[in-house]
Amino acid sequence: MVEADSAARALNILGDRWTLMIIALAFNGVRRFDDFQGRISIARSLLTDRLRRLEDVGIFRRHRYCEHPPRDEYRLTEMGRDLYGAALMIIRWEKRWFYDRRIPAHRIKHKGCGKTFTPECRCKACGELVYARDCYAIPGPGAGEDPAQKPRAHRRSIVEPASPSDAMMQRSAEVLGDRWTAHVIASAFLGRRRFTEFQQALGVAPNILTDRLTRLVELGVLSQRLYQEKPARWEYRLTQEGLDLFPLVLELVRWGDRWLAGAKGPPKIIRHRLCGKVLKTTFTCDQCNEPVSAQDTRL
């Protein structure tokens, strides 16, 4: 068993690079099987599997648009559209650390002010920008344990987009698009640092954990520090780049609380030290400081 956590629950669904890329395409208006396949070079069987999985969890709804031959398209449900904030926070992080003007999502525009912008995450109550150091979590009504995740058969794989312009989420997919790397990061935000702490929290095999920690150090999200010489023991801390994933993790918590917590309610409540209130976030445009939503942005 592992500690119940909404970000972890969300990542059990989303922590797969194909899934992330499929959802990003859906926000770009892609609905049909062949169009998904044309935009990312994914095997038909894998695409079928991921679309079916997303339909099962309630992110997509299938709609038959042609009877002969039978053809379906995949539309985002309300639960799916509610991931828009997470998409905004992915764009925020990518733009801040790996800006690439060739990627259309990095040129996202705010219709309100007409400018290209970087989304920001603010506390709804006090209006301040949200940072990890200003927030803390306390147990919520749904606190408890969840079953540990079973390992999946497939291994970490590198995905190549069909064209550089579809490279949005490439970086985020490296970090979040693998269930274990994603869980390691969520766990690091809960204060875990040592190998054994990660292992206990995630119920993951040591060789997989070693592989993912090494990868996250290579990606610059975690830094590694020797805390004991004999035998050599390492601890892992979020770097500035890693800490900057906090708004995204928060958004996954919010989404998980809303759609996956069930009747028991949220496993954790996050409070904002600066104003003392339970943290509710809002996304704003860094150019005009006005709130942004799916309706007034163009991906």
Interface ranges with Zn ion (CB under 5 A):
110, 112-113, 123, 125-126, 272, 274-275, 285, 287-288
Residue closer to Zn ion (CB basis): 119 or 177: 119
Residue closer to Zn ion (CB basis): 149 or 287: 287
Backbone φ and ψ for 201, nearest 5 degrees, come out as: -65, -35
Q: How far is the CB of 11 from Zn ion (least distance, A)?
A: 25
Q: What is the largest CA-CA distance in the chain?
A: 70
Residue closer to Zn ion (CB basis): 18 or 283: 283
297-298/135-139 β-pairing:
unpaired
Q: How far is the CB of 127 from Zn ion (least distance, A)?
A: 7
Distance CA 252, CA 172 (A): 14
Look up tokens 């992330």; give the residue: 20
Residue closer to Zn ion (CB basis): 200 or 287: 287
Q: Where are the beta strands (DSSP E) in 210-257?
A: 222-228, 233-238
Residue closer to Zn ion (CB basis): 135 or 219: 135
Q: How far is the CB of 233 from Zn ion (least distance, A)?
A: 37
Comparing CA positions, the residue from 87, 274, 288, 76 lying closest to residue 176 is: 87
Task: Please check whether residue 198 is in contact with residue 234, taking contact to mean a CB–CB distance below 8 angstroms.
Answer: no
Instruction: Please report, as a single letter, which amino acid is at residue 37.
Output: Q
Q: How far is the CB of 276 from Zn ion (least distance, A)?
A: 8
Residue closer to Zn ion (CB basis): 275 or 294: 275
Distance CA 214, CA 181 (A): 10
Q: How far is the CB of 293 from Zn ion (least distance, A)?
A: 12
Q: How far is the CB of 121 from Zn ion (least distance, A)?
A: 11
Question: What b/e string do you get for 174-183 counting C-beta neighbours within 10 Å, with b at 16 or more?
Answer: bbbbbbbbbb
Q: How far is the CB of 87 from Zn ion (least distance, A)?
A: 17
169 CB contacts (<8 Å, ≥6 apart)? Answer: 17, 20, 21, 24, 90, 94, 105, 177
297-298/109-110 β-pairing:
antiparallel
Residue closer to Zn ion (CB basis): 122 or 192: 122
Residue 147 has what DSSP assignment?
P
**Helix or strand (DSSP H, E) at 67:** none
Q: Quick one: tokens of 213?
A: 């920690």
Residue closer to Zn ion (CB basis): 15 or 85: 85
Q: How far is the CB of 120 from Zn ion (least distance, A)?
A: 10
